[in-house]
A and B are shown apart, each in its own frame.
Chain A
Amino acid sequence: MGYIGEGILKALKLLLSGDPETYSAILTTLKVSSLSISTSLIMGIPPGFVLGYYDFPGRKQLRAFVDTLLALPTVVVGLFVYALISKRGPLGNLGLLFTIPGIAVAQTILILPIVVSLTATAVSQLDMRFKDTVLTLGAGKRKVALSAIFESRYGVGAAAISAYSRAISEVGASMMIGGNIKWHTRTITTAIALETGKGDFGMGIALGIVLLLFAFIVNWVVQLLKRKKV
C-alpha cells in the first residue's frame, strides 16, 4: 500500500510545483477537447434540430442509426481515422497523423452522435404550443429554428457537456492518432496509461486527480443547468 501513498504525495508535489510535463499533458487535453467540442457542436446542432423538430419519412430509422453510433468504440474510430489520415490513406497529404488536429478529428467523430442525439431529444421535448406561439408572434422559418434551439438550451447544454466528458476521458483514439508524443500529443489519459505501465504512479495519480476535477466541474455544471430548468 505504501507505493499508493507515495504516489499521492508525488502527485500533489507535481501539481503544486507546476511540473511542466504534467501541465503539458493537461494543456494538450484542453486544446484537443476544445477543438473537438466546438467542431462537433457546429456540425451536430443543426442536424440534431432537424431530427428532433421535423417529421419526415425515415426519421425514426435515422434516429435509431444515430443512437447506435453513441456506442462507437473509441479504438474503432481510431482505426478508421488512422486509415484515412495515414500517409497511405486518402487524406494522408493533410499531415494530420500524430497532431492535435488529428486527435480532434477522431474525437469529433466519436462525440458527434452524442451532440446530434441529445439535441434531437431536447428539441423534440419542446412544448407543442411553442411553434404556434412564435409563428403567431411573427417569426419566420429561421427565427423559429433559432428560437427552438434557444428554448431547448438547457438540453443542448447538457448534450455539449456529455460530449465534452466523453472527449476528455477518451484514450483509445488519442493514443492511436496522437501517438502519445511527449510535449506534443500526450494527453491526460494517454499519459496515465503510459505512466501506469512504467510504474510511475505519481504522475498517473496527479493527472487522474485533474481528470476527476474536470469530471466534477462538468457534473456540477449539469446539476446547475438542471436546477435552472425547473
Chain B
Amino acid sequence: MKQTVLYKIVHLRHSYRTGFSLEIPHLTISKSSSLGIVGPNGSGKSTLLRLLAFLQKADSGKIYFDGSWREWGDPGCRLKVTLLCQEPYLLRRSVFNNVSYGLKVRGEKRNLTGRVHNAMRLVGISPEKFSHRRWFELSRGEAQRVALASRLVIDPQVLLLDEPTANIDRKSSLMIRKAIEKVRESFHTTVVITSHDPVWLHDIADEILRMHDGRIAGSGTDNIIEGPWVPDHDGLWTKVLPDGQKIRAMKPPLERAPGVLSSTNIMISTRKPVEISAQNVLSGVVRQIIPVADSERMQLEVHVGGVPFSCSVTRYAVRALDLLPGKEVWVIFKASSVQWQ
C-alpha cells in the first residue's frame, strides 16, 4: 500500500541558550503511521514534538504538513494536530468541562455530551463517576487519561504524545495504550509517541527512531555508545565501561563522539567464545526479551557493566540458547560495527 507523507521536515534547526540544539536535516512521517521516538532526557524529543505541534517557532528549516509548508502557530494545523505533554495541565473545571473544551472552542455543539462520554469511556474513565469531579480530585493516572480524552474527543488527525506513561500506574498505562490502538484503528490517526519504555513503545509503534543530543541517531533498536574514546593499540580506540570492560572501535572523528551500534550487528553467546576475530566480547546479563510485532525477531536487552545493549535475535535463537531474563551471556561485535555519525 502506498503511504502518503503527512509531515516532511527539511533542515530543521532550533537552539536554546543552554547550548543545546536540535538538528534534523530530513524526516518524513506517513499518514496513519505510528512513530515512536526513544532517547535520553534532553535528547530533543519534547522539542521535536512541540515543533510538530506548531507550538514553537524553529530557528530555521521548514515543516511541510499535508503537502504545504506551514509556519508555527498555523491555526489550521493546530485544529488538526494535538499534543499531550508529559505533565498534562488540567483546566480548573470539572472533568466533563475539561474533555469538552476542545469541542466548545471549535463551536461543535452537536451531540457534545455523547462525544465527551465516548472519549471518557475510551480511556477507561466512567462518565457517571467522573464527569462532575473537579480537576484536583483525580489521581495522576486518571488526570493523564482525562487529558488524553480531551484530545481524543476532537478526532485529531495527528496525536503527539510526550512520555504518556511516565510516572503513572499500570492500569492507566494499559488504558492509554488501548485508547491509542482504538483511535488508530477507527480513525487512522497518525501518532507520534516518545517514551522511555521500550516494551510499551514496541507494542504500539510501527517504526522507532532514536534521538541523541538533538539529532536522529538511527532506529530505535540502535545502541548509542557515548564517548570519551581513548587511543588503544592497532589503531583502535577504547571506551571503558563502569565495570572495567572495554569497547573497541575504529578511530572516532572526535574523542567524545557517540558511536552507533546496530542491534543486528550484535551476536549473543551463552559461552565465552575463544579464537574469534571480533574485538568485542563482553560479559552481560539479559534483562528483557521484547517480541517485535509482525516479525520473527525478538529484541533482547542485555546489561553490560550497567549499560543496556539492545540486541536483535531470532525467536529460534531465544529458544535454542534458552535465553531468559537474568541469564548471563556474552555480547559479541566487531570494532568496525561501531559507526560514527
Whether A associates with B in a native complex is yes
B interface, over-half SS: mixed
Chain B residue with the shortest CB-CB distance to A144 = B105
Contact between A133 and B106, CB atoms less than 8 A apart = no
Kindly state whether residue A16 has any CB partner on chain B within 8 Å.
no
Cβ–Cβ contact B89 & A137, under 8 A: no
Cα A138 to Cα B79 in complex, Å, equals: 5
> Do A135 and B78 touch across chains, with their CB atoms under 8 A apart?
yes
Contact B55 A136 (CB under 8 A): yes
Residue of A135, A138, A139 with highest tally of chain B CB at under 10 A:
A138
CB distance from B204 to the nearest CB of A (A): 21
Question: Are A133's CB and B154's CB within 8 A?
Answer: no
Q: Tell me the smallest distance from the CB of B101 to a CB of chain A, in Å.
A: 6
User: Contacts A147-B91, A151-B91, A151-B92 given: A137-B105 contact, CB under 8 Å?
Assistant: yes
**Interface residues as binary, B96-130 with A (CB distance below 8 Å gives 1, 0 otherwise):** 00000110011000000000000000000000000
Q: Given A137-B102, A230-B136, does the pair A129, B78 have CB atoms closer than 8 Å?
A: no
Q: Which of B176-220 contact A (CB under 8 A)?
A: none
Q: What A residues does B105 contact at CB under 8 A?
A: 134, 137-140, 143
Interface residue count on the B side (C-beta < 8 Å): 24
On whether the beta carbons of B82 and A137 are closer than 8 Å, the reply is yes
Q: Once bound together, how far apart are the Cα atoms of A127 and B88, in whole Å?
A: 11
Classify chain A's interface size.
Answer: 10 to 19
Closest B residue by C-beta to A230: B136
B89 in complex: contacting residue of A129, A138, A140, A143, CB < 8 Å: A129
> Which secondary structure dominates where chain A touches chain B?
helix
Which residues in chain A, 40-83, are within 8 Å of chain B measured between CB atoms?
none
Interface presence of A19 (CB below 8 A): no
**Is B51 at the interface (CB under 8 A from chain A)?**
no
CB-CB under 8 A from A151, the residues of chain B are 91-92
Q: A200 near B: Cβ within 8 Å?
A: no
- A180 CB, min distance to chain B CBs, angstroms: 44
Specify which chain A residues have a CB less than 8 angstroms from the CB of B282 in the assembled complex.
none
Whether A138 lies near B78 (C-beta < 8 A) is yes
| Closest chain A CB from B93 CB (angstroms) | 8
Q: Is A130 an interface residue (CB 8 A)?
A: yes
Least CB distance, B107 to chain A, in whole angstroms: 10
Does B75 lie at the interface of the complex (its beta carbon under 8 Å from any beta carbon of A)?
A: yes
The interface residues of chain A lying within 8 Å CB-to-CB of B85 are 129, 132-133
Which residues in A have their C-beta under 8 angstroms from that of B55? 132, 135-136
* Residue interface mask A118-142, B partner, CB < 8 A = 1: 0000000001011011111111100
In the complex, the answer to whether B53 meets A129 with C-beta atoms within 8 Å is no
Q: Which of B82, B83, B101, B105 is packed against the most chain A CB atoms within 10 Å?
A: B105
Give which listed residue, B101, B136, B154, contacts A134 with CB less than 8 A: B101
How far is it, in angstroms, between the C-alpha of A136 and the C-alpha of B52 when the chains are bound?
11
Contacts of B79 in A (CB 8 A): 138
Measured CA separation A138–B73 after assembly (Å): 11
Contact residues in B for A127 (Cβ distance below 8 Å):
89
Question: B92 — which chain A residues lie within 8 A by C-beta?
Answer: 150-151, 153
Contacts of B88 in A (CB 8 A): 129, 133
Complex interface residues of chain A between 134 and 182 (CB less than 8 A to chain B): 134-140, 143, 147, 150-151, 153
- Provide the bound-state CA to CA distance between A121 and B292, in Å: 52
CB B226 to nearest CB in A, in angstroms, measures 31
Residues of chain B within 8 A of A137, CB atoms compared:
82, 101-102, 105, 150-151, 154
Nearest to A141 among chain B residues (CB) is B75
- Complex interface: chain A residues within 8 A of B232 (CB): none
* B169 contacts A by Cβ under 8 Å: no
On whether the beta carbons of B75 and A140 are closer than 8 Å, the reply is yes
Once bound together, how far apart are the Cα atoms of A53 and B84, in whole Å? 23
Nearest residue (CB) in B for A146 is B105
A contact residues around B66 at 8 Å (CB): none
B87 within 8 A of A: yes
A127 to B89 alpha-carbon distance, docked (Å): 8
Q: Kindly state the separation between the CA atoms of A135 and B88 in the bound complex, as whole angstroms.
A: 13
Considering the chains assembled together, what is the distance between the CA atoms of A173 and B102 in angstroms? 47
- Which residues in window 137-192 of B have CB below 8 A to A? 150-151, 154
Question: How far is it, in angstroms, between the C-alpha of A225 and the C-alpha of B329 when the chains are bound?
Answer: 63
List 21 A-B residue pairs with CB atoms under 8 Å apart, sorted by A's residue number: A127-B89, A129-B87, A132-B55, A132-B89, A133-B85, A133-B89, A133-B91, A134-B101, A134-B105, A136-B151, A137-B101, A137-B150, A137-B154, A138-B82, A138-B105, A138-B154, A140-B75, A143-B105, A150-B92, A151-B92, A153-B92
Q: Which 6 A-B pairs have the closest CB atoms?
A: A129-B89, A137-B102, A136-B83, A133-B89, A139-B105, A138-B79
Given A133-B88, A136-B53: 18 more A-B contacts, CB < 8 Å: A127-B89, A129-B85, A129-B88, A129-B89, A132-B89, A133-B85, A134-B101, A135-B78, A136-B55, A136-B78, A136-B84, A136-B151, A137-B105, A138-B78, A138-B106, A147-B101, A151-B91, A230-B136
